[in-house]
Amino acid sequence: MQSSTSPLPTRLRTRFWQVSLVLAVLLLLGWPEPARAVRGGPDRIYFPQTGHSLAFGFLDFWLAHGDTLLFGYPLSEELDEGGLTVQYFERAVFEWHPEAPAEWRVQLRRLGAETTRGRSDRAFRPTPPIELTVCRYFPETQHNLCSGFRAFWERHGGLRIFGYPISEELSEDGLTVQYFERARLEWHPEARGTHDEIQVTPLGAWAADRIGTARDPLPQPPGVPVFDPERFPGAPALVRTPPAGAPVQETKWIEVDLGQQALRAWEGDRLVFSTLVSTGLPQYPTPVGTFRVYVKVRYEWMRGGTPGIDYYDLPNVPHTMYFYRGYALHGAYWHNNFGHPMSHGCVNLPLDAAAWLYDWTPLGTVVWIHP
């Protein structure tokens, strides 16, 4: 006989608590959260190319940091691997770390390190610095990064995406390649001058061989749309053509998109680089208009604001390029919250992006800032 105090039969009450317990466990394990995942579009999309979907925090990261160019298409759904939520892609494996700061909750598996574990051939041994301006030396791993690989690494996320170099350049499979903690880059000379000249090796596909049937394609879920870049107006990396009114007559020009908190570098009407940035807070707006870079300073000492209220004293601000009065484009080492207004009016860039942009930008380059 049912209790008069409960509207649910015993079986349904038991089932209710079972489901609640499962949901609680999953929340403790951590699911990629829906916050900011949509970027103006749906929170879940389907890829018929591989028969898998991408959603929420993983979708947000994929859109913001390189989409198919760096990561490829998804090769699985989200999976639980020992309490860690992961998803496999052609060129990467995403991991969800709910305990980490917001900007580090999505991390890329160290596939470059995994695929080269135990290698001791010459390219993987510690190497002294190469004294050339096209090279950058990393004492952390004692390896050099030069020329085209360096430009690609700096343009597409640097340490955050690829990690440190763990080898010098070497020849494999008929290609010049270089290994990083999270990736391998390939040089394709037959595609010189195009977006395909430097490519990311599909190490994610190599890693996905271990997951068996979880890689099998699935039908499109009801109500989940097929991926289309036009669905995501808030994803800066998906912009492929200049907006109306852009200074496309310039050989080189820089766009700062205040609405999307994005910076793009263009050569005429061809996009060559994009990154999330942090522009001025509402009380310290970044100026809107067309300007030109008039001073470049490798390291700058920036001080300002009102003592006791908003005073700042920042030594060694890297790769600073002034474009209007005291407003500048520069690297920011004091935060990693790019994609949100943070500054007193300057345009804050990730450090690797700032380094690449500084080298690419001659004095006089147009900086076009729009809402």
Q: Give pLDDT tens digits for 330-342.
A: 999 999 899 899 9
Say what percent of the chain tops pLDDT 90: 74
pLDDT of residue 72 exceeding 80: yes
Catalytic site residue from 65, 146, 344, 346? 346
- Structural domain includes residue 74: no
Domain of 166, in residue numbers? 114-203
Residues 6+ apart with CB under 8 A from 335: 278, 342, 348
With beta carbons less than 8 A apart as the criterion, state whether 47 and 227 touch. Answer: yes
From 73, 103, 79, 64, select the one nearest 31 (Cα to Cα).
Answer: 79
- Structural domain includes residue 294: yes
pLDDT of residue 28 exceeding 50: no
pLDDT of residue 31 exceeding 80: no
Residue 226: Cβ-neighbour burial (10 angstroms; 0-12, 13-18, 19+): exposed
Q: Domain end: 151, 181, 203, which one?
A: 203
198 and 249 share one domain: no
What's residue 23's pLDDT?
41
123 and 183 share one domain: yes
- Structural domain includes residue 27: no
Total tally of structural domains belonging to the chain: 2
- Structural domain includes residue 292: yes
What's residue 24's pLDDT?
46
* Cα–Cα separations (whole angstroms), residue 14 to 5, 6, 173: 15, 12, 59
298 and 197 share one domain: no
Average pLDDT over the chain, rounded to whole? 88
Work out the angle at residue 53's Cα, subtended by the Cα atoms of residues 336 and 277, and round it to the nearest 5 degrees. 20
What's residue 121's pLDDT?
95
Residue type for position 91: R
141-146: average pLDDT: 98
What's residue 32's pLDDT?
58
pLDDT tens per residue across span 33-51: 544 444 678 999 999 999 9
Catalytic site residue from 156, 319, 330, 344? 330
Q: Identify whether 330 is a catalytic site residue.
A: yes
Q: Domain end: 203, 228, 258, which one?
A: 203
252 and 363 share one domain: yes
- Structural domain includes residue 49: no
191 and 260 share one domain: no
pLDDT of residue 191 exceeding 80: yes
- Structural domain includes residue 315: yes
186 and 268 share one domain: no
345 and 259 share one domain: yes
CATH number at residue 293: 2.40.440.10
Residue 71: both structure tokens together: 């990561």
